[in-house]
Structure 1
Amino acid sequence: MSSKTLTFVFAAERGTPALLTEHRCKAAVPVAGKYRVIDFTLANCLHSGLRQVLVLSQYKSHSLHKHLRDGWSLFNAELGEFITAVPPQMRYDSGWYRNAMDALRQNRYLIERSPADTVLLLDGGLVYRMDYAELIEFHREQGGGVTCALRQAGPGSAAGGVKVEVDGADRITAIGNAIDVDAPYESTMGVVLIDKALLLEQVEALSAATEAGMDSGVDLATQLVSPMLDGRATCSNPPTAYRFGGERGRVTQDRYWSDLGSTDAYFRANMDLLKAEPPLNLYQADWNILTYQGQYPPARTVPGPTSGNEGIFVNSMLAAGTVIRGGGVSHSVLYPRVQVEDGAIVDEAILFEGVRIGANARVRRCICDKDVVIPAGACIGEDRRADAERFEVSDEGIVVILKGQSI
């Protein structure tokens, strides 16, 4: 299957939440205590037997490229396997990627020279687990053409994607924006499989017809399917729907999907992982999520040097290299090398790598980007008006302290 399917992962957009993409693209945003967002898509590829993966990059891509080098240099080039970053090559003109379809057009030569007969198109800025091998098998059973993975959306479900209508034979009959929908519906989820010959036949026209803007990876289905439904493009088979979270596939069916579409959505997604039964299963033994991890010492708690109180943590995630020195951490997600000093209180917070919380500081409902230092005695997250004068505060009151921000 590996050689028959070429995979493109779209990671060129800035995306959201905007405050966390000041220094990195969305695909490189840290999530779940140790991972980057793109790790979930790449892990799906790995477990699905896909070994030819091209990552389309553009916006502030250094962090992403470094992560791919350090964490995903695991395929064997001698066997034709690769995970390769592909920024704009400007083979046809001097422009950057205008949109997802233009990114494919600019890399047409990579598609043409591939021995694959199908192309898998994935948004690298989403968090979910999926067995793509079953999607590919379903696509072949249906006779090829275009197959779009769909998820159940509506009240209580993650935002993102567009509404899709499907008939009893799993054929897509309509696709469009979902506005004020108060009942469950089927939605796109940034996963599309298309026959290679069909993509090459349509990519020039699709690129020209699609509006500029790289924040469109999740809308791949609309860009490909709409022209086939309204007669602007031809396809021997009608576009087909594949249901995400069904019985097919080896991954446990948690049916979790998130586009982390805002600061509040990002915060909730991380906090959800602290529930007794989290909605996203990170612990399936045969579907582990790979990432790059620095060679740091184990996380630990130690007594405070002044108070002598034990460092404690309650219902929290602690990554390697983290030390709690007499402070207290509860309902929080701590990335590697975080330091919590004597008497400090951290509650409902997300602390990125290298964050330091000074002695007797109090941090609540806060996201601290990489290497932020909270001074001793500081109080953040308890007075929204005071916080708003110094920091960015989300609609739901989450304080965001940016990388390098002086406090």
Structure 2
Amino acid sequence: MKNIISLILGGGRGTRLFPLTKYRSKPAVPFAAKYRLIDIPISNCLNSGLNQVYILTQFLSVSLHRHITSTYKFDTFAAGFVEALAAQQTLDSTDWYQGTADAVRQNLRYIQQRGIEYVLILSGDQLYRMDYRDMFKTHMENDADVTIGTLPVPREDVSGFGVVKLDENGRVVEFAEKPQTEEDINHYRTSPEWLRSRGLEPRGREHLASMGIYLFRRDVLVDLLTRYEHTDFGKEVFPSSIASHHVQSHLFDGYWEDVGTIRSFMKANLDLVSENPPMALDTEEFRIYTRPRYLPPTRMAGAMVKDSLIADGCTIGAGTVIENSVVGVRCRIGRDVTIRDSVIIGADYYESDEELQHKSSSTPAVGIGERSVIQGAIIDKNCRIGSDVRIINDSATQQKECDNVTICDGIVVCAKDSVLADGWKLEP
């Protein structure tokens, strides 16, 4: 695995995850109480024996760079690295990245280093566990030029994915980006018998969708990016390579979630609080790494917590009820608070006793004040939620810009550093 270099694409503007992306890039969005989305693909790489990792960034990258720098450090003998490559002006290019393929094109010199034979292209905002050694094995056994990770999906989901058609050996012979017509959808159906022959039980999932994970022979990738002016991997580079190169499918049948919207972000978080989560966090075999914060244990004074994740360094008051929710680091939650079906991302710091004593009486402390009720909401970092605040979308509004909050897909989102004074209520 030492001759493979991994490139994680940092994503675009992340408009569908706004306001969580108001101050940070998509991969830097906090997730599952104590992680960030970028920790998932990086951990997959490290657990697969890949320790040469570049993250290509462009938009609002300061938070992401800080996290990478403070988290992923190798000792002198490990000879590995996890580094961010921000968009920059060079003698060859003065433009921003024009797309995923262009981002790699502008950094070709990093993958043309001595000893690199393969390039693994990953997304920075997907949730899954994969041992990339299995994908590399598929690539080598089939003598492929390109191998793409594919996931079986049900017919009703096909229109939201790029799907592939395979020959009997698993080689990709056709590709369609989000087919819409019945004729096209039927054309890309995979035989259930063939799937079973590969050890995969279809269960109504007879279409193979692209996961946006690509393994290239380095020289093939360099040739494709220098010969053509393609800007996007999924829509241009990958489809064009099918006719001219051997493109192989690597089947994956585990949990996979593309966190591209507020609703998918909320769902992915709350999926993890169940008794049998689709992606277990408490496993020794395939750990998820993140920044060590050295925070104290969480203290709960007579609170009731059910089906929830609670991170380190929290203080939760007496009489508080937390159900089916995720509570991030350093959360200060007052007495008799009710939190249901929500994601509380946490705080970057503790307010000192001196700061609390001298703050304005009209400005709540960082955290959640007494007797507040939060349901079906996402509270971003460092928010100041006063006492007797009610954050519930009673009117089932789908989209709305309000005072200090945004409603996206019916979910109330308090942006980072928002302030909701005592007694604030969401108006219908």
TM-score band by shorter chain is 0.7 to 0.9
Match runs of 1:28-47 below 5 Å = 28-47=28-47
Counterpart for residue 371 of structure 2? 360
Distance 2:113 2:273 in 1: 46
Give the counterpart of 2:408 among 378, 394, 402. Answer: 394
CA offsets 1:126-181 (integer angstroms, 9 cap, x no match):
11110001111221111130110101123576995411111211110111122456
Give the counterpart of 2:336 among 334, 337, 343. Answer: 343
**Does the alignment pair 1:223 with 2:216?**
no
Using a 3 Å threshold, how does the CA distance of structure 1 residues 140 and 23 change in structure 2: closer, same or farther? Answer: same
Distance 2:178 2:103 in 1: 26
Q: Which runs of 5+ in 1 are unaligned?
A: 211-215, 246-254, 303-309
Distance 2:414 2:159 in 1: 25
> Any idea what SS the aligned residue of 2:376 has?
strand
CA offsets 1:330-388 (integer angstroms, 9 cap, x no match):
11100001111011111111101226110111111110010111110111115337995
Q: Is the 8 A contact 1:164 1:176 kept in 2?
A: yes
Q: How many residues align?
A: 374
Counterpart for residue 356 of structure 2? none
Counterpart for residue 252 of structure 2? 244
Give the counterpart of 1:193 among 197, 215, 225. Answer: 215
TM-score in terms of structure 2 length: 0.82
Distance 1:17 1:25 in 2: 10
> Any idea what SS the aligned residue of 1:164 has?
strand
Match runs of 1:66-77 below 5 Å = 66-73=66-73, 75-76=74-75
CA offsets 1:208-257 (integer angstroms, 9 cap, x no match):
133xxxxx6xxx3443321133x5xx33xx21100013xxxxxxxxx111
Counterpart for residue 88 of structure 1? 87
Distance 1:379 1:191 in 2: 42
Distance 1:26 1:405 in 2: 19
Distance 2:147 2:227 in 1: 19
Counterpart for residue 406 of structure 1? 419
Q: Is the 8 A contact 2:317 2:334 kept in 1?
A: yes
Counterpart for residue 333 of structure 1? 326
CA offsets 1:99-148 (integer angstroms, 9 cap, x no match):
11111111111122241111111111111110001111221111130110
Q: Which amino acid aligns with 1:118?
A: Y
> Any idea what SS the aligned residue of 1:134 has?
helix
Q: Is the 8 A contact 2:9 2:100 kept in 1?
A: yes
Using a 3 Å threshold, how does the CA distance of structure 1 residues 155 and 322 change in structure 2: closer, same or farther? Answer: farther
Distance 1:294 1:157 in 2: 39
**Does the alignment pair 1:209 with 2:230?**
yes
Q: Which amino acid aligns with 2:236?
A: Q
> Any idea what SS the aligned residue of 1:186 has?
strand
> Any idea what SS the aligned residue of 2:374 has?
strand
Q: Which amino acid aligns with 1:366?
A: A
Q: Is the 8 A contact 1:159 1:258 kept in 2?
A: no
Counterpart for residue 388 of structure 2? 377
Q: Is the 8 A contact 1:357 1:375 kept in 2?
A: yes
Q: Which amino acid aligns with 1:84?
A: E
Using a 3 Å threshold, how does the CA distance of structure 1 residues 135 and 385 change in structure 2: closer, same or farther? Answer: closer
Q: Which runs of 5+ in 2 are unaligned?
A: 187-203, 348-365, 421-428
Distance 2:387 2:159 in 1: 39
Counterpart for residue 249 of structure 1? none
Match runs of 1:34-183 below 5 Å = 34-73=34-73, 75-76=74-75, 79-91=78-90, 92-154=92-154, 161-180=161-180
